[in-house]
Copies of this chain bind each other. A is one copy, B any other.
Amino acid sequence: MAKQVVFTPSGRRGSFPEGTSVLDAARSLGVDLDSVCGGRGICGRCQVTVGSRPGMEARDDRLSARAATETDYHARRPLGEGRRLGCAALIVDDVVIDVPSDSQVHRQVVRKRAGVDALPVDPVVRLHYIEVTEPDLASPTGDLERVQEALSTQWQLRGLSVVPYVLQRLQTTLRKGDWKVTVAVRDESEIIGIWPGFRDVALGAAFDVGSTTIAGHLCDLLTGAVLASSGRMNPQIGFGEDLMSRVSYVMMNEGGAERLTSVVRGALDDLIGELVSAAGVDRTDILELTVVGNPIMHHLVLGLDPRELGTAPFALVTTSALHTPAALLGLSVHPGARVYTLPCIAGHVGADAAGAVLSEGPHRRDDLQLLVDVGTNAELVLGNRNRLLAASSPTGPAFEGAQISSGQRAAPGAIERVRVDRETVEPRFQVIGQEPWSDEEGFDASVVTGICGSGIIEVIAELFLAGVIASDGTIVERPESDRVVRHDRTFSYVLSEEPRIEVTQNDVRAIQLAKAALHAGARLLMDHYGVDQVDQIRLAGAFGSHIDPIYAMVLGMIPDCDLARVSAAGNAAGVGAMMALLSGVARREIEEVALRVEKVETAVEPRFQEHFVAAMAIPHKTDPYLELAKVVDLPARTVSAEGRRRRR
């Protein structure tokens, strides 16, 4: 007799003959209930519990008694209280079936903002256990055709193609597994892996290839769990500190692009080695990879010559997302694995910006978000669900410590935090790699090597607040202090005596130019959007995560905004790469969004120049840091310990 079945939380319902398995009922209603083994009681992914609703209380006997397969499974991996295997439990009465989140293929995993533990999952690569008909003389089809038949009848997957590697392994694997194998299917269209017997390991790796550092994350493609994270310097630094010097290297040297491609791919491969060794897994467990990066890194990883990106009109080879065999990029992972590169938005707004958009999601918001990722160029995205605008602003490398007299990359020994006494103009500072401030016990001045981007921002803002720097950026004479010294017709501020670190007038000018470019880019987007103010500002990337939003506001780097709504986004591009690794929905989302972003080119907009000139001055006369300190117990540093830890 037909029984009523209601699935929660989906609410789908139907009536089924008594004795129908819960898994079959779920499948026929399109309920999202996971399975790798296809209902054979092996994988344990189809666990459900009996739920209740008015008139249909939760009673165990609404399902059949525990079956042998469940007892066997329980002996291997204990089933939780009330948990049943959907493939073994048969419907014997009207019943409410609750599908817990960990039994759903597509799950909305709650994402912790600081540090990423798990992400929304909609697997691009899925594993399917199949039992394949043996060949016999009477029906001489190929082994592949019988695998395809099994995928069709057991998993409703049809018309699948197959990568050459799988074709080569097909016969031995089928025989080794006694005609029971697990296949990995990518995008419901291509068989990319095959293993004898049952298997439920499918890992992926996501990379954010920055011009300075490369960050990688190893994830479980099936659960979304992050298994390991690691980072290393981009060895291309040996060919030029910043992006433009690397493009110059390519232009000046025969085979230069190939060399840069080779070293960055080598670094990715080494990072893969670190990740799998940290997680205690094998390289060949990695079935899918994603890469984000600025356009030049994106091109070099893919083996595309970046020289057109060095000069106007900065033509990309392609803005589209690509799916490249990992083997073609020289990465030692599973031979069937592919590398998904996120789309680029424009010649200077790359796949890293696309990753940041995917992660921060301005297009999913009602209010107006300004997303800022500062590197050699600032990539800016402004918008909400109705409209998105993007631009790249030529900040130059000052924010990365370049063009600054004592500047350096953010690395151990770099001054990153600075406070200047408003009266005495005496400084105190903190150095990457050392906890104590310079005026605290245990501080070791001998490790100081220079000043990094966030440090130069802070010292200039503090000097402005202390009156050492005027609104127009001039360092003014301060006869009562020997911290301000004269060089010819300008003054410098001595931040450290030993080692000698000065903030020169040129340093201030360089930062003024950079911050004016950033501000003008944001203003230009606001003009295009037709607004005077934004609702939220997110500062992404390494620099964005380490500058104190207060000082960014003091200097006028960013447009006016409620300070409480200005915050660091962490490595938003890298999180976007992970989202794209774990979710086909996320890929389609960012591909669609990238197409509809309106690109604003600062170089051809006369108003950019106007905004730029207007933004040169330091606008605020108030000291918001001190204002804030009056009402809240503000720490000396507002950047998280997490942020500091990562940078080491």
Contact = CB atoms under 8 A, between A and B. Distances in A.
A137 B313 contact: yes
A632 interface: no
A140 B318 contact: no
A604 interface: yes
A366 to B, nearest CB: 28
A164 B318 CA distance: 12
A304 interface: yes
Contacts of A172: 305
Contacts of A312: 137
A100 to B, nearest CB: 40
Interface residues of A, number: 42
A143 interface: yes
A94 interface: no
B303 A168 contact: yes
B317 A170 contact: yes
Contact of A142 (B135, B324, B344, B603): B344
A1 interface: no
A302 interface: yes
Contacts of A481: none
Contacts of A324: 164
A313 B143 contact: no
Contacts of A603: 137
Interface string A299-327: 00011110010001111111110101000
Interface string A168-209: 101110000000000000000000000000000000000000
Contact of A143 (B140, B171, B318, B601): B318
Nearest to A175: B308
Q: Which of A135, A143, A168, A315 has the most CB of B within 10 A?
A: A315
A601 B304 contact: no
A628 interface: no
A303 B164 contact: yes
A346 interface: yes
B143 A305 contact: no
A245 interface: no
Given A164-B328, A167-B302, A171-B308, A144 B320 contact: yes
A15 interface: no
Q: Which of A313, A317, A320, A322 has the most CB of B within 10 A?
A: A317
A140 B320 contact: no
A347 B140 CA distance: 6
A317 B143 contact: yes
B171 A140 contact: no
B344 A138 contact: no
A423 interface: no
Contact of A145 (B141, B144, B314, B318): B318
A128 to B, nearest CB: 18
B304 A140 contact: no
A260 to B, nearest CB: 14
A170 B135 CA distance: 46
B141 A171 contact: no
A145 B320 contact: yes
B316 A140 contact: yes
Interface in A260-285: none
Nearest to A344: B142
Contacts of A139: 599
Contacts of A170: 317-318
A164 B136 CA distance: 41
B138 A601 contact: yes
Contact of A604 (B138, B144, B168, B303): B138
Interface in A511-534: none
A310 to B, nearest CB: 12
A136 B168 contact: no
Nearest to A307: B171
Interface in A316-346: 316-320, 322, 324, 328, 344, 346
A317 B140 contact: no
19 contacts: A135-B315, A137-B601, A137-B604, A138-B604, A139-B599, A140-B315, A141-B316, A142-B319, A143-B315, A143-B316, A145-B318, A145-B320, A164-B302, A164-B303, A167-B302, A167-B317, A168-B304, A168-B305, A171-B304
Interface of A: 135-145, 162, 164, 167-168, 170-172, 302-305, 308, 312-320, 322, 324, 328, 344, 346-347, 599, 601, 603-604
Given A141-B316, A162-B318, 11 more contacts: A138-B601, A138-B604, A140-B315, A140-B346, A143-B316, A143-B318, A144-B318, A145-B318, A145-B320, A164-B328, A168-B304
